[in-house]
Amino acid sequence: MPELHTTVLRLLRAMLLPPPEGADAPLWSSSASGASGKGASGKSGKGAWGGRASAPQPLSFATLDAAWAGGEQGCGLGVDEMEQAFVDEAGALLGLVQSLLTLHSSLPSFVELFTHHLDILSASPAAAAAPPALAAACKATRAQLELLLARAAANRLPLRMQRAAPVPIKQFNPVFDDDFQPDRDTDPDRDRAALQKLKRQTKKERKGAVRELRKDSAFIAVERAKDKAERDEYLTGRGKRAMAIMEEQEHSWKEQKKIKRDSGKD
């Protein structure tokens, strides 16, 4: 619940830290006690708490309403009642901080959540000037914060990827068979052993058939290539022989024609 932590931190700052210029002072500072026109000591703007307040009591909303109404209007409760109301408020706030510390002490983000609370309680000058009725509560809250923050920081581990432990391989004692026969199945179920034998035999025969088919295909391809080469060689030779015969006939015809032409001239 980030809203709850933010609200508690803002209340602690308003109660303890020095206010900015023009803002209300911390609840138990001298300026706060005299902010309504009458301080705890009865003098305007001076003095501090009279120390007449008892230990913090459970909050009464009726008393708180009257106290704040009196603070705004300059009248209402007396000084003692006002002081007790402020002490009750501060005690309730410190008690809430202690409850949150106990509730969230196991969170991984505990250090980030409550470091600012300790900074405020340690660095605030108003914490040292707390009324006697609140001194014990402030001291206890600060001690609890220091202890739990130190414990949380010591118990924090660096982030890492989830890593499963390696599972060892199950080991068995070796079994030796003096009368081992590779072709014999040691399965006690004879039907299953026969079925496995048939499966192995079928697989072996299928592989053999595939191997033979591959050999046959290769042999057929070689024979077809050889027949094609022989046919191409025969056709090429026949074409060459035909061309030679035709060239020889043409040469003979030209010779006869030349002889006839020469004989006619004579």
State residue 219's pLDDT score: 94
CA atoms lying within 13 Å on the CB side of residue 108: 4
State residue 63's pLDDT score: 62
229/162: higher pLDDT: 229
Task: Say whether pLDDT at 106 is over 90.
Answer: no
Tokens of 22: 């023009």
Task: Convert the pLDDT of each residue in 67-84 to its tens digit.
Answer: 555 554 444 556 566 667
| Per-domain boundaries in the chain | 2-155, 189-266
158-172 mean pLDDT: 81
State residue 153's pLDDT score: 86
Task: Say whether pLDDT at 160 is over 60.
Answer: yes
Task: Say whether pLDDT at 39 is over 60.
Answer: no
Task: Say whether pLDDT at 220 is over 50.
Answer: yes
Cα gap 217→240, rounded to integer Å: 34
- Maximum mean pLDDT: which of 120-124, 126-130, 260-264: 260-264
State residue 166's pLDDT score: 84
State residue 116's pLDDT score: 81
